[in-house]
Every structure is written in C-alpha cells, then in structure tokens.
Structure 1
Amino acid sequence: MGLTGVGGGSLMTPLLTLLFGVSPTVAVGTDLAFASITKAAGTFTHRLRGTVDWQVVRLLCFGAVPAAIVATLGLKHFGALDKEISQIIRYSIAGSVFLTVIALLFKARMLAWLNAHPEKQLQGKQLTAATIIAGALLGTLVTISSIGAGAIGATLLVMLYPRMPSAQIAGTDIAYAVPLTAIAAFGHWWLGSIHWDLLGSLLLGSLPGITLGSMAARAVPEKFLRGLLATTLTIVAAKLVL
C-alpha cells in the first residue's frame, strides 16, 4: 500500500485465504475491519489538506451504505459461513481482483479518452445518478469481497469526474470508503466473521510496512510498481479460481 497506494484489500484478502488458510468470509470481514481503521486515519490527513470533495462523498454513500446493508442481510440469509457461500465469496474475490487489475492497467487510457471526447462526460442529474449507482455497485462489491474501494473506486471517480485533481480523487476515494467499510465490517461482526487477533496482528504490521513502502516508493518508478502489482494480482486471482 505504501509503494502503490492500492493493493490493501485486493492483496490482503486473497493472501489470507491462500497462504494462511483463513476462510474467505473471515478474510473479508477481518480485512474490512482493518480497512475501516486505516482509511479513517487517511481521511483525517486528507481533510486537513482540503483534498476531499464532500459532495461526491455524500453521493457515493447514498448508494454504497444501503447496498452494504442489503448485501450483509443477504449474506446472513444465505449463511455467510456455509461452505457453498464461502466458495461464492472466493469467486467474488477473484472477480474483484481481476477488476482491480483492469483498473490499474487502463485507468490512464480511459482518462485520456474522456479528455479527448468531452461530449461523452456526464453532467447534472445524469452525473448525480451515475455517482449514486457507482456507490451502490462498490458497496455491494466491497461488502462481499472487501475489494473495490481502492483502485476500482478511484477509477470510477476518474471516469465520472475527469477534471477532479488527482489528490482530490485519492482523498474522496478514501473518505467515502470509511463509512462503507465501517458498516460492512459491523455487518461481518454481526455475522461472526471477524478474527480479532488476526486484525490486531495486521494493524501492528501495517504501520511500519506502509512507512517503509512510502519511503521506498520515491526510488522506484510508479509504472514498474503498478505493472508488478497487476502481475501479482493476476496470478492471485487465477490461483483463487483454480
């Protein structure tokens, strides 16, 4: 996360499943609790810098929060800890990872296309409706797989608001994810799918890890890092499916 700004959920959740044998549902719930804490700290920093568009945050939350609640109730109804549901969640994680790879690789091209075709950019009520719908999609995706609030969310923001500065894209993406991940994490706590000891260990490791990664990021080209991350995520997603 310190090196690239993304990869927390998209790497952590599948690695908890593949390397440590954590069930997909527990991996999702624990990662959501982790994300709600770390993103809250990030939002505080972005708020001090004035790099959050709170109107866009509200629109995203109008879609994301109800979707997270509905998705949680769906998991409760179908039995989140059942083996069949865990397998579905495993495939959902793989699909979310593939979407993250696409977002990483093609975000710049999509932005360039939008800038070359300004007539295709949404305005007014259409933009408002599209933002709420994007929030609902992200809310469902994040609650089920814990993946999507980072790279996918940022890519959707770039597509909907191509004129928004990069720093504001990052700040807005983090800020809307705080209530989303918090509500989704609360839902998974209700479902009994959070491993609290594991969460504590992740938090202890993440603080020095993010610091070291942020320091090293200055010396490593971003293009190389994103390519490496995209390759790693593709391998992880394929492993989850196979």
Structure 2
Amino acid sequence: MSNGTTSQEFWLFGYGSLIWKPPPHFDRRIPGFVTGYVRRFWQASQDHRGTPEAPGRVVTLIERSYWEQLKDHHDSAPERVWGVAYRIIPGRVAEVKDYLDIREINGYTIHYTPFHPATGVDLAILPTQTPIKTLVYIGTPENDQFVGPEDPHQVVDVIFRSHGPSGPNPDYLFGLEEALNELSPESGDGHVTDLSNRLREMMAARRVPTPDPSPSLPQEHHFRRAASVDEQEETEKAS
C-alpha cells in the first residue's frame, strides 16, 4: 500500500474541466486539494477551446518553486489547489489506464501527486490511508503549448475571442469558477476569479450576454475509445 492506494485502485485528480465533467467508469468522487502547485491559465488550447490559428487559454499546474521565480501579475496564490479526485471502478482500471496512457495529449504529461480529501468527506468512501496517490495531467513549461505569464487583460481578451470544438472559451472559465466555488468555502481561486470578473466586465462593455455557468452537478459521460473531442477534454486535455 502506498499513499492510501493499492494495486487495485486508480485515482485521477481533476483541477479544471474534470471537476464538473467526470472521467469514464468512476465510482467515487472526492473534493480536496493538492499542495506544491499553482493553478494558472498558462496553457494554450488549439484543439478544444480554440484552434491552431487562434488558440484559447486553459489551466495547467505550475510547481510553486518554479512559479515563485517568475514575474506574475497575480503575485499571490493559495497554498492549496482545490479540485476533485475520482476513483476508477477496479474492474475497469486496466481499460481506463491503458486508454489514458496511450492517448496523445496535446501538451499535457502524466504526473502523480498526493491528494488531500476535504474535511467532512464521508469516511466510508475514503481509502484506508490518506493522502491519496492520484494521477494528474500537467502542461509543464517544457511543452510547446505553455505560454507562461501574460497580462490578465491579454488573457481575458484571448478567452473572450476563442472558440473551439468543445465550445466557447468563456464557458470554460466561468464553469471552472462556479465549480471551484462549490467544492468548499475555501476552494476559490483568486486567479480564476479575477479573470472571470475581468471577462464579465469586458462582455458587459461590448454588450455580449454572459453565459450561464456550467451545471453544478457532475455530468456523466460514456466511455468511448474513439477520439471524440468531448471525451478528450474530460481527462484534462483541454482542461
């Protein structure tokens, strides 16, 4: 046993669209957080929330030690990056893990990180030991889709204009803000909130209706081997 998992368990951590769009074949969904990272809209999206000609912006995780060396307009970040951990049904682990391992993910690579369940989570759904070892997809600074620090107004302008096969980029930003706010009284992210507020102001100034946030309850999706746009986004490809 390691970090609360066994060879029969496979946990996946979602910090972007996975929060409200679950992966296939999960039987447990636990809110909580990881440490040692900062969440930022520093990853370009060419195939889901944008196009190769006009990439959108989506979130990735930055190692805090690296982020602290950069000049970021948002010069503070919470110690905890909140999100959701999903346990894949034991009988489907090999199928799902093989699917995740072999699938090409544009700019994102596989990492493992300890996940801390939120206070008050039903003990019956927790593994014997915590934190839980979770797989997470991260767009590291080495990948060619990583854009790094940008002026928030520039980021918001890109998000405002971007639209891809998975839908408008603003829907993603507002959906993430809503999903984070519902996880815990302390799960909000100032970076996400500031960008959301700036985007609302921009849309109001340009008389563009603000879209409704994504549904509060997780949306289940059927597992598909086919390279569908929607299924790829579920596993954080476009976050």
> Whose strand fraction is larger, Structure 1's or Structure 2's?
2
TM-score (norm 2): 0.28
> Whose helix fraction is larger, Structure 1's or Structure 2's?
1
Q: Which has the higher contact order (CA 8 A, sep 6+)?
A: 1
TM-score (norm 1): 0.28
